Structure 1
């Protein structure tokens, strides 16, 4: 599945861009400052070539003036050229400000060059200010986006994470947001600068020579057509690229997490072979995306060069005819480059923008994913929870066409230990997931101390409950921080007491740093049994009114299991406990045993009573202490 090529479709560029711009609205005054700084910087940069053109004219006028006969008016010398048939030279001289017999005016030249230097310095300063404010705007927007995504993850139902691979979710939260931040950082300033430069340069070109400006404008629709045609194709490829990136990340994350199992079964080569199709798919989509979008820049450069040739030829003719000064042509050639450069930049930005918008759409899809139902506006907040839990006519299914739990009812009195047993897939873990409101029921009600859990907030429901799962989860931090996760205000004495009661203290003290030992991801070097002991200590320290133990001793040795059972017996005192167990020998002392099959409670009672009844529970129990079943004896 990871190697299958994704079904790509074009992103909704306009709506995604509009939504992306709305992320910047809280910093609207900074955005306005970016625009103002950009206008000033571009205006100064556009003015500089005209001043340089004037400086060129001063040099050229001085050179020509030094060759003219001193003391003879320029008009007389122009007329003399016309009389000798040199009309073209006469027109060019007439258009110049040359003074006969006078060379280059170095004072005027120095003033113009100093002015150009000041203009460029001021343009640099405002450009720097624009870049700095832009960085603040973008990072503020990304901060808010990451905050919203983080909050969104906790509002998503568990079913979302079952449908979506963890690698793809991580890719959206990290890779896509980072790509979006890079796109905004580079594109906002460039887009503003490029558009303003095009407007400013176009105005200056029209001022210098409308004819040359018309020639330059011919390239605009051609450039726009090329950009649009290429961009349409690159949209599809960038969508595919980022989707495939998520699939590759999901595959790598999955295989890395299960590397012990992979190595134990000698499946390294198979994993590498499974990675190849995903890697090739990412290579293919990335290559197409980069290649198609990469065509834009060289195409724009080619069009720009054609424009440059046309401007140089026509401009030279106008200078020869006296219609334009040589400084004007020089300035226009610079403007021509300045005009084509932002056009090329805008074309090149399409590459980045397509990639960024594709990433933005993936992040927006996560933000728009259906959330859990809202908590009640006026929730019932329980006081001191006694732990009276009741399921009344509860029905639930993960999908409408596959009902799992139907019309289930039972009650657990305060302080009782309720064991839930049954074959795999019978719905045991689903029952506690419903109690924790990881999923909402389809019908019926679940009450805690007579209060419907649907009338409580999810946080209030879960504060009443402590949970020890079969898969021990620890985070990167000290042992002390992991133990106190459910009780952040616990004292050192309380932490140590919980660790002693659950047989954690003895192995913690054998570590060099003791309770200050920093664990790596998933518990670092601790064994599976030690990690599970720590989760039991964590639940002990949280001191909940209701306790859920889902195969809590499945990863410890027999001797430790006995000790843990004694510790859990003390932990369960005065608490309502739900114990899910496959090893039925561990729940003999339960007050009530619920035998579940196909989402229904088929039997309930004490261990002795159910054995005497000789029903479903009795069959389960005796099967664990009898000879292994043959294939013929297994249920169909």
Structure 2
């Protein structure tokens, strides 16, 4: 996936407006210079010809040109921001679309801080380059070219003088580009380390505190912050040097113009009005040249961000799939796994889940149980083999088209920040009230809402942390069964339930009409299943009725016995 072009999405029109803006600013500057020349030449050569009326007209002329110039600068800023924000908005959506297409397993391999840095820090650098860099480069470049051309027409020796100073200064600025790029990369790298660590600390502060590691983590943050500070100060040294070159260039150009003008006047080759007019043009060039110095700084920062964005987009995402799942919504829920392999999790896994059955998937940690459920939800894709639902290959369907066909509840699929109403409806926003009422009654949500001050409009924190574990799990279960999807996946959804939530879980197992696959370590819940799949090391070892396997297979019996011992020990 590539970044969108800067000129796309009607931004070419903004570019043209910026070019016209630069021409207008150059025209206003040239007009002001000519008025200055005319005023001084008349005042020195024919002071008696300057009447009050002519002075008023000259003053009005300067005022009009000043207002034109001021108006153009205002419009430049507005158009530049529209250019930058429009481009960054498009890039942001490209990043999010790519992010939402990546399997969760790939996302888990990246730190949240580094991902957030793409959306915040890197997009800020892109906006600065587009709004404050590229836009200013267009306007200032056109305006400077026009002003230098006018200066050449007024006095070519003065134009040569200014060019002789500006060209070496520009070349020196370009030479400083490499150390600036290196400094920007180092600062970006240090910022990513710190952002990733802070993001982890915010999510896991309770673990840090109860483990007595607060001081250790403080020291770690202090080291990372100190390294970031050093990198930013080094970057500031390079930027300061670049700005010093720009400032020196403009100051030398001003002094050289004044000295050369004085020599030309003394030799009778030009008039004082011409020198003053040239000085006014140089005065216009000074802020433009300073702006161009900042442009290079913005570009180097944007180059680093573009590299990081490309690295993120280079993670291959699944190709577009068919969205034809409407015929699966009323399906029987027949699941067939055929020689499925997922690197590090499953090897040639084959199994058949009969329609309407309850399947308990059990086994030691790392056996691949959650991977089996993730394959059905398309949270993980098979590297070999197929998973079929009612005859359709799930691997050929778009991931987000399965939300009405497969419901899933898991401690890893937390609640979202917002209202309870939003969380209940999240899978099916247009769910009818009758269906919502059914789900609320089945999951005991109405009783939960009675305990909350604002009912369904009660706002909850990220992850549902403002609710108890049992309250959270009831809402998660309600979200999963809304619409009665043909397949319901319960990935250790019976862990740490209070009595009310346990009763809800048991009712769902007993009364659900579709196919249920649950990963569990609880013997009582496993015995409620129609079929038990026992897994080890990514393979299906045994399958059959739970009570029969407990009697006939020592591995299954040993697994539950060991789990019970671990629970008692803890």
Q: Tell me, yes or no, whether TM beats 0.5.
A: yes
Distance 1:379 1:490 in 2: 18
> Residue 175 of structure 2 aligns with which residue?
229
Residue in 2 aligned with 1:560?
500
Match for residue 531 of structure 1 among 451, 457, 472: 472
Instruction: Return the alpha-carbon distance in structure 2 between the equivalents of residues 137 and 352 of structure 1.
Output: 15
Relative distance call for 1:628 and 1:58 in structure 2 (3 A) is: closer
State the Cα deviation string for residues 570-592 of structure 1 (Å, max 9, x = none).
Answer: 443x2111110122332112111
8 Å Cα contact 2:18-2:79 kept in structure 1:
yes
Q: How far has the Cα of 1:453 moved from its partner?
A: 1.8
2:552 matched to which residue of 1? Answer: 613
Q: What is the deviation of 1:326? A: 0.9
Alignment partner of 1:119 out of 65, 77, 90: 65
Contact 1:58 1:109 (C-alpha < 8 Å) held by counterparts: no
Partner of 1:165: 111
Would you say the 8 A contact 1:231–1:293 is kept in 2?
A: no
Give 3-state SS (helix, strand or coil) of 1:22's partner.
coil
Q: Hey, what does 2:341 align to over in structure 1?
A: 395
- Contact 2:325–2:405 (CA<8 Å) still a contact in 1? no
Matched residue, 1:193:
139
1:360-405 CA-partner distances (Å, limit 9, x unpaired): 33334333431113315988953621011111222221xxxxx432
Q: 2:533 aligns with which of 594, 601, 605?
A: 594
> Aligned ranges for residues 284-323 of structure 1 at < 5 Å?
284-323=230-269
- Partner in structure 2 of residue 250 of structure 1: 196
Aligned to 2:369: 428
Compute the TM-score of the two structures, normalised by the length of structure 2: 0.93
* C-alpha distance 167-139 of structure 1, shift in aligned 2 (>3 A): same
Q: Deviations over 1:239-286 (max 9, x none)?
A: 222233233222111110112222222222122122123212222222
Q: Distance in 2 between matches of 1:191 and 1:493?
A: 60
* 1:62–1:105 contact (8 Å) kept in structure 2: no
Q: Secondary structure at the match of 1:391?
A: strand
The Cα shift of 1:535 comes to 0.3
- Flag the 1:460–1:377 CA change in 2: closer, same or farther, 3 A: closer
What residue is the counterpart of 1:583 in the other structure?
A: 522
Q: CA deviation at 1:333?
A: 2.0
Counterpart residue number, 1:515: 456
1:60 matched to 2:6? The reply is no
Alpha-carbon distance, 1:231 to partner: 1.3
5 Å matches for 1:34-433? 34-63=18-47, 102=48, 104-376=50-322, 382=328, 384-397=330-343, 403-433=344-374
Paired residues of 1:44 and 1:119 also in contact (CA < 8 A):
yes
Counterpart position of 1:544: 485
* Cα distance, 1:223 vs structure 2: 0.8
Aligned residue number for residue 27 of structure 1: 11
Instruction: Determine helix, strand or coil for the equivalent of 2:176.
Output: helix
- Which of 386, 396, 399 does residue 445 from structure 1 map onto? 386
8 Å contact from structure 1 (residues 503, 564) kept in 2: yes
Aligned residues: 568
Distance 1:471 1:448, change over 3 A: same
Q: Secondary structure at the match of 1:369?
A: coil
Structure 1 residue 540, shift from structure 2 partner: 2.5
Distance of aligned partners of 1:627 and 1:448 in 2 relative to their CA distance in 1, 3 Å threshold: closer
The structural deviation recorded for 1:126 is 3.2
1:387-425 deviations in Å (ceiling 9; x for gaps): 11111222221xxxxx43222211111111111111111
Measured in 2, the distance between the counterparts of 1:628 and 1:500 equals 32
Q: Distance in 1 between matches of 2:387 and 2:8?
A: 44
What's the TM-score once normalised by structure 1's chain length? 0.84
- The answer to whether the Cα contact below 8 Å between 2:359 and 2:531 also exists between their aligned partners in 1 is yes
C-alpha displacement of 1:129: 2.9
The one-character-per-residue Cα deviations of 1:55-87 (angstroms, maximum 9, x if unpaired) are 122222245xxxxxxxxxxxxxxxxxxxxxxxx
Deviations 1:513-571 (A, max 9, x none): 112212222224211221111101112223111111111121213x3354134222244
SS at match of 2:388: strand
User: 2: distance between equivalents of 1:476 and 1:295?
Assistant: 46
Alpha-carbon spacing, 1:594–1:466, altered in 2? closer, same or farther (3 Å): same
User: Cα distance 1:125–1:249, how it changes in 2: closer, same or farther (>3 A)?
Assistant: same
Aligned-residue offset at 1:478: 1.7
Distance 1:20 1:395, change over 3 A: closer
Deviation at 1:235, TM superposition (A): 0.9
- Bigger Rg, which one: 1
Q: Which runs of 5+ in 2 are unaligned?
A: none
| CA distance 1:621–1:566, shift in 2 (3 Å) | same
1:427 and 1:347 map into 2 onto residues whose CA distance is 57
Structure 1 unaligned regions, length at least 5: 1-15, 64-101, 398-402, 631-636
Separation of aligned partners in 2, 1:580 and 1:464? 19
Task: Give the direction of change, closer, same or farther, for the CA distance of 1:450–1:492 in structure 2 (3 Å limit).
Answer: closer
Deviation of residue 598 (structure 1)? 0.4
